[in-house]
Structure 1
Amino acid sequence: MERRRHEHDFEEEWREAGISRGYSYTDYNVNGRNIERIVEPETVEQVFKNLEVPSWRKQITIRAMVTSIVLSFVFNFVICKLSLTTGIIPSFNVAAGLLGFAFVKAWVSLIEKFGLLKQPFTRQENTVIQTCVVAASGIAFNNGTSSYLLAMSSIVADQADRDIPTNVKSLSLGWIIGFLLTVSFVGLFLMVPLTEMMIIKYKLTYPTGTATAYLINSFHTPRGAKLAGQQVSALFKSFCFSFAFAFFQWFFRSGSDCGFSSFPTFGLQAYSHRFYFDFSSTYVGVGMICPYMVNVSLLLGSILSWGIMWPLIEKKAGIWYSADLPANSLHGIQGYRVFLAIAMMLGDGLYHVAYIMVKTMVNIIQQHSMKRKEATVINTHFSNQTLESMLENFDERRRKEFFLKDQIPSWVAIPGYICLAGLSIGVIPVIFPQLKPYHVLVAYLMAPILAFCNAYGCGLTDWSLASNYGKMAIMVFSSWVGLENGGVLAGLASCGVIMSIVSTASDLMQDFKTGYLTLASPRSMFFSQVFGTAIGCLFSPLIFWFFYKAYSVGDPTGSYPAPYGPMYRGMALLGVEGVASLPKNCLEFAIWFFVAALLINLITHLFQRYETRYRIYRFIPSPMCIAIPFYLGGYFSIDMCIGSLILLFWGMKNKQMANDFGPAVASGLICGESLWGVPAAMLSLAGLNAPICMKFLSASTNNKIDAILSGL
């Protein structure tokens, strides 16, 4: 009686999740012995068991591909803008799944009224759309146009003050697209043979992929479809507001330091140290999506750097570094900003790499140990088949059946990896003569180990450390090639090779986990990955080129400073020149910040493991997030903290509504202002400027200007 009452307590919760749940009785009988008689709620797959699962070819429809192309363009544009401004990009998996559902559902409903519907919209088709969009967005994030590729340009090289002909490469749309097409598909074939081991044998969770699957499953239940419609409505309203507000702001931005984006919210002194609210609905939306502690960490980093450290170091001009250096020189104050951020990022990244590798090895050893124990039990008591049927519930058996049915054979995947790797070994040295074929070969020999570690670690923790592996590649290959032989370009190019493979590996496994939980065929998933990757390789360079020609991309004082460009070039310079390139005392500070990042992570994990009552680890800041504002300033962290406050107060008023609609509203705010960049850039290319410059001056400066004007 107590057990039945306990289960009924959860009935409303299951119903709120969008799944109708009844109760069924299950008998486990092994060798004539009644093991257990339990009462369990109806599971996800029992809800969908009467619906036919379409073949993998029917999961790939023309409407799904068209929807994927449209959404891929939108998200590529948004991610490109975010990458070129602050580099902080939230997860768009929820928005991709939601908008994919909304677009196709609206189309299906329309043609159904005319009796023309031939194939219903299924969760498998929804998964194909989401996978394709996320694959294209992943290329936009990892394509290097805002980081390692941009770091090769003369714009960033001039800031570094170390440009020699062999270490600068002019950006060109042709070779960027060629490079991305060469390196972006290799990781797809590399990880395909390991999907069964990762998802079925080791049962890795892949939290983002799992959450996306549950979201898509809920969309295709009656309540989920209704809620999705309401979320789309909220997203559309916030999109319209954000787009209209960005359009309004444009009228007041006819020159530099003009408009609402230069509003000295906390006074002119704070504005000179980059503390102000710039009225960016994009980063308010990003703040609503990111966890609270991320935003607090960003604000803490802003205060530590621009509020305390940089003003103190600037007083040492002429002592620690030459006072005659340009403001953007890496041998002046800019060097402290860039290299201290690099030190903290490397400390954070290396800690997580070591942590993931150790956790991976421990987990693999435990998995094999458990398998041996299970084998002993099987041999002693039951047959293998009987024990598996006892341990696996209906959902697991059904998912495994469909997942294994359409597996891509290894005889396709392994030769595919070898052929694409061979193509890269031939093509990349043509694009980057500084990299020799044996350098690329070494990178591809390293890649499988790094890709496995990243994919496995991502399955355990949801962390993709692709950028950290890329940074290590910069240090290794730049020092190997040397400065005079073009080591800067070699290191940056090798970063692209490693990052493309390693990031694709974790993204692919996340999406395969989503497909596993929605019964999408591995073949349709792989096709959508390839299709999305191809879209990304074309869209992301084209959109970057649009910004590159319309704006001063890479200018630290401009609207698109691309902060990771100087940081990645700084890492390459550090690899080829060593610590001699650093300003005075910069090395000592860098060591302290590197150690601080290690200690903060160590303390966080110790609290996670041994302290459970107060969960203090939730309030420990992230070293990576602390480091990001070192170069940019505090303005965007203020925007994001305002987004957190909006979500916090919304949750205090109505927590369920905030949880349901917060991500949709945030996505609308991000997309609206970001897409205003299209007409704004077109106006800029056409030579049409805003009619008004709204600028703020101190009272004394204003009086001087009035005196000058009155004397004319």
Structure 2
Amino acid sequence: MGHQEEEGPCRVKPRSVDLEVGDHPLGEGSYAHGSMTGRGGDDDDLQPSGKAEDVIMTTEEDLEETAVPSWREQLTARAFAVSLVIGFFLSFVVMKLNLTTGIIPSLNVSAGLLGFFLIRSWTALLARVGLLQTPFTPQENTVVQTCVVATTGIAFSGGFGSYLLAMSRRVADSMGGGSAAAIDVKELSLGWMVGFLLLVSFVGLFSLVTLRKTMIVKFRLRYPSGTATAHLINSFHTSGGARKAGEQVAYLFKSFAGSFAWSIFQWFYTGGDDCGFGAFPTFGLQAYRQKFYFDFSATYVGVGMICPYNINLSSLLGSIISWGILWPYIQSKKGSWYSAELPASNLHGFAGYKVFISIAVILGDGLFQFFRVLLTSLIDINRRRKADRDFLKEEEEERSDHVLPSAATTAMSSNGRGATAVETLRRRRRGEAQDHAVGDPEEARRVKFFLKDQIPQWLSISMYVGLSAVSCVGVPFIFPTLRWYHILVTYLIAPVMAFCNAYGCGLTDWSLASSYGKLAIFVFGLWVGANGGGVLAGLAACGVMMNIVSTASDLMQDFRTGYLTLASPRSMFFSQIAGTAMGCVIGPCVFWIFYKSFPVGVDGSAYPAPYAQVYRGIALIGVQGFSTLPKNCLSLCLAFFLGAMALNGLKMAVEHTKKGWHKYLPNVMAMAIPFYLGSYFTIDMCLGSLILFLWERRNRAHADKFAPAVASGMICGDGIWGLPAALLAMAKVQPPICMKFLSMAANAKVDAFLTG
């Protein structure tokens, strides 16, 4: 689905069909476009294998002479109709993942495959009856993929599993500790959620659109997810690619059907608390109490097949550290470190350690990566500026000597495009000559089409100002504690934040939108203060900032994809707008179905939404300080915060040795995810990794070709079952059987009670 975006709900890049992907740092902002976020290795660029390069070369040769439709012809009614259908169903998948563990793999492969399959089937049917008028092109396929990613992206960045849900009384009361003050709680309703997203989701689209030429053509940022998505779409529209896509779709639908049927079967045995296959004590009852068990979830087996091995093993390691060692030790201090009378969900009790230590690890990793990406971006910008200065200095020296290089004269006379030796020097000094040879006709063709349909600068600036003004007026009506001047300050600094995030995403393929959102929680929560409703204000400001920063980097990813598929920037821009509009309505509606059908956000429920409590915990720290922490919790938080920073620093240092050892060091964000939730989903994901490993050992080419489709089908089948399950719950239809697992002693007591 879109880019690999952050701590909290995390998006991870899948293994591409034709491109090999290394480990990807987890994080919310990573809802990688595509997050293909999502979604490069630990901040490494996506590196195509030699086989993939051959495929790409063949694809470009096949498409070189293809006529490119105008931007209006790329925006077809069938493209938006298909996008609406796919976006609706994939939003259920994203929402279910968002409300369970928060690990959201990119479904770009699914979006691209399904879009290609549905429209190609439709055009083939019309062609048979002689009614086909408009052929299906890579540009139209790009429009579908962009629109779907934008739609499902709102299900992620809309905060339904994080900042929006954290505002609810349900989450506030479940955390205990006096956190449910009326001024810091806002009851959720479908109307104001749709209105809020409409107010804040479009502003980011206009924040960086004027820099598209600079980012894509001048800086030539790679945006690995956008690049991989483009090559995937281009490959579909060759004869061999179409046949391969058809085979992948067949595998996707088979795994989808199996996953959906398995979900139906499991439902019949869940007629009570802790019933069904999801409560099977795989490793014994004691391990089950510590959250170590296999819950038979097709979703997270599929996620494990998509996520890199390092991510899955890091999550398992985090489970062992937290639920195997740390939490049992803290529980042994009950009555000493915290009152034994407090309920398990109270922040001044055991829950406080789980929430705030998890926050410390997340913030430690997020802060380190924030400064790392920022430093990487600044170094790259400085390198480009130095190259330009050196070029201008050498050019000035040549002019002073009145010497025109013979190589330049030869190039100018033989190359109608005017590619001089000096231009070659400039590109070489920018490190671009190896990727973009001077005079490359395909590259020139891309630049021509990318610059053909301009988006007027005056329009983008005026729209940003106008939408910001509307938001400054409208958002305070929804959140009175967040004043108009708070929002104005956000929109004044947001373009700078958006540029930093988009630039860093272009280099590392990692969006840090959630880091900017957490920063906004602290800043605006402290500004408003505890007595002024700082918790609610901070969470709302987080939503404003995250939506701007996230959509800006997503749009640049789309521009990169469109640049490589020859799709017009205008068609990309309008498809992003259309997808965002769809998401602002579909996302809240899908969330509302879950929210009204299940106890979403309550610890121990089927949809605990763990990051809602994490975000609310961050807001509480921001306005109340460390007074909310139980005894010794601050020391433990500091130790884990520094530990996260140190592990990241070690990984970066080892990475610079260029020996590849950093891939064997654990990923900090992946380790943090099970600290709050438990180990059950990591068991599922590791099983997915094992299946993929054995498949690759048996037939690597077959696994590379079909594993992403099989995994996507497993995720989609189980995820879409959430719709009929929610409808059954709303209709008060309960499963007929409760399958529960008891110890022998407990079973004897039950038998005695029943016979007595």
- Per the normalisation by structure 2, the TM-score is 0.88
Trace 1:8-19 onto structure 2 (pairs within 5 A): 13=51, 17=55
2:314 to 290, 297, 312: 297
Amino acid at match of 1:612: K
1:216 aligns with 2:249: no
Q: CA deviation at 1:709?
A: 2.4
Work out whether residues 56 and 231 of structure 2, in 8 Å CA contact, stay in contact via their aligned partners in 1: no
Q: CA deviation at 1:376?
A: 5.0
Work out whether residues 252 and 710 of structure 2, in 8 Å CA contact, stay in contact via their aligned partners in 1: yes
1:135 to 150, 160, 173: 150
Which segments of 5 or more consecutive residues in structure 1 lack a partner in the other structure? 1-9, 21-43
The equivalent residue for 1:32 is none
SS at structure 1 position matched to 2:501: helix
1:53 aligns with 2:73: no
Encode CA deviations 1:83-118: one digit per residue, 9 max, x unaligned: 000000001112111111111111111111111110
1:372 aligns with 2:417: no
SS at structure 1 position matched to 2:207: helix
Amino acid at match of 1:100: G
Q: CA deviation at 1:15?
A: 9.0
Q: CA deviation at 1:160?
A: 2.9
1:325 aligns with 2:325: no
Encode CA deviations 1:193-216: one digit per residue, 9 max, x unaligned: 011100111010000000000001
Amino acid at match of 2:175: A
Amino acid at match of 1:591: L
Trace 1:5-84 onto structure 2 (pairs within 5 A): 13=51, 17=55, 20=58, 44-84=59-99
Distance in 1 (alpha carbons) for counterparts of 2:363 and 2:50: 47
SS at structure 2 position matched to 1:484: coil
Q: CA deviation at 1:378?
A: 5.6
The equivalent residue for 1:386 is 419
The equivalent residue for 1:195 is 212
Distance in 2 (alpha carbons) for counterparts of 1:628 and 1:184: 27
Amino acid at match of 1:117: L
Trace 1:112-123 onto structure 2 (pairs within 5 A): 112-123=127-138
- Per the normalisation by structure 1, the TM-score is 0.93
The equivalent residue for 2:33 is none
The percent identity for this pair of structures is 56
1:597 aligns with 2:597: no
Encode CA deviations 1:41-72: one digit per residue, 9 max, x unaligned: xxx54432321100000001111111100110
Distance in 2 (alpha carbons) for counterparts of 1:237 and 1:85: 25
Distance in 2 (alpha carbons) for counterparts of 1:257 and 1:272: 11
Encode CA deviations 1:209-245: one digit per residue, 9 max, x unaligned: 0000000111111111110000000000000000000
1:552 aligns with 2:599: yes
Distance in 2 (alpha carbons) for counterparts of 1:538 and 1:150: 17
Q: CA deviation at 1:356?
A: 1.1
The equivalent residue for 1:637 is 682
Encode CA deviations 1:381-438: one digit per residue, 9 max, x unaligned: 3379332587241221110000000121211111110101111111111110001111
Work out whether residues 299 and 719 of structure 2, in 8 Å CA contact, stay in contact via their aligned partners in 1: yes
Amino acid at match of 2:741: F
Q: CA deviation at 1:480?
A: 1.2
Distance in 2 (alpha carbons) for counterparts of 1:369 and 1:54: 40
The equivalent residue for 2:711 is 666
SS at structure 1 position matched to 2:547: helix
SS at structure 1 position matched to 2:694: helix
Distance in 1 (alpha carbons) for counterparts of 2:696 and 2:52: 21
The equivalent residue for 2:696 is 651
Q: CA deviation at 1:693?
A: 0.4
2:457 to 390, 406, 410: 410
SS at structure 2 position matched to 1:17: helix
Work out whether residues 45 and 398 of structure 1, in 8 Å CA contact, stay in contact via their aligned partners in 2: no
Distance in 2 (alpha carbons) for counterparts of 1:660 and 1:583: 51
Distance in 2 (alpha carbons) for counterparts of 1:375 and 1:618: 41
The equivalent residue for 2:126 is 111
2:367 to 314, 339, 350: 350
Flag the 1:121–1:377 CA change in 2: closer, same or farther, 3 A: farther
Trace 1:99-498 onto structure 2 (pairs within 5 A): 99-161=114-176, 162-376=179-393, 380=398, 381=405, 382=408, 385-387=418-420, 388=423, 391-498=438-545
1:571 to 603, 618, 626: 618
Work out whether residues 19 and 221 of structure 1, in 8 Å CA contact, stay in contact via their aligned partners in 2: no
Q: CA deviation at 1:159?
A: 2.5
Amino acid at match of 1:241: G
Q: CA deviation at 1:606?
A: 0.9
1:522 aligns with 2:580: no
Work out whether residues 160 and 569 of structure 1, in 8 Å CA contact, stay in contact via their aligned partners in 2: no
The equivalent residue for 1:5 is none
The equivalent residue for 2:729 is 684
Aligned length in residues: 677
Work out whether residues 46 and 395 of structure 1, in 8 Å CA contact, stay in contact via their aligned partners in 2: no
The equivalent residue for 2:29 is none
Q: CA deviation at 1:250?
A: 0.7
Which segments of 5 or more consecutive residues in structure 2 lack a partner in the other structure? 1-47, 399-404, 413-417, 425-436
Encode CA deviations 1:130-152: one digit per residue, 9 max, x unaligned: 00001111111100111101111
Amino acid at match of 2:160: T
Distance in 2 (alpha carbons) for counterparts of 1:484 and 1:13: 61
Distance in 2 (alpha carbons) for counterparts of 1:45 and 1:262: 51
Amino acid at match of 2:533: G
Flag the 1:323–1:11 CA change in 2: closer, same or farther, 3 A: closer
Distance in 1 (alpha carbons) for counterparts of 2:54 and 2:710: 21
Flag the 1:160–1:11 CA change in 2: closer, same or farther, 3 A: closer
Work out whether residues 127 and 515 of structure 1, in 8 Å CA contact, stay in contact via their aligned partners in 2: yes
Distance in 1 (alpha carbons) for counterparts of 2:83 and 2:193: 23
Amino acid at match of 1:398: R
1:612 aligns with 2:658: yes
SS at structure 2 position matched to 1:89: strand
Q: CA deviation at 1:278?
A: 0.3
Amino acid at match of 2:209: V
The equivalent residue for 1:37 is none
2:748 to 679, 703, 711: 703
Work out whether residues 594 and 726 of structure 2, in 8 Å CA contact, stay in contact via their aligned partners in 1: yes
Distance in 2 (alpha carbons) for counterparts of 1:152 and 1:333: 22
Distance in 2 (alpha carbons) for counterparts of 1:177 and 1:709: 51
SS at structure 2 position matched to 1:391: coil
Amino acid at match of 1:446: I
Flag the 1:364–1:247 CA change in 2: closer, same or farther, 3 A: same
Amino acid at match of 1:691: P
Per mean C-alpha deviation after superposition, the further-off stretch among 349-358 and 230-239 is 349-358
Distance in 1 (alpha carbons) for counterparts of 2:544 and 2:280: 41
SS at structure 2 position matched to 1:270: helix
Work out whether residues 46 and 394 of structure 1, in 8 Å CA contact, stay in contact via their aligned partners in 2: no
Distance in 2 (alpha carbons) for counterparts of 1:487 and 1:86: 27
Distance in 2 (alpha carbons) for counterparts of 1:647 and 1:46: 33
Q: CA deviation at 1:625?
A: 1.1
Per mean C-alpha deviation after superposition, the further-off stretch among 383-392 and 654-663 is 383-392
SS at structure 1 position matched to 2:734: coil
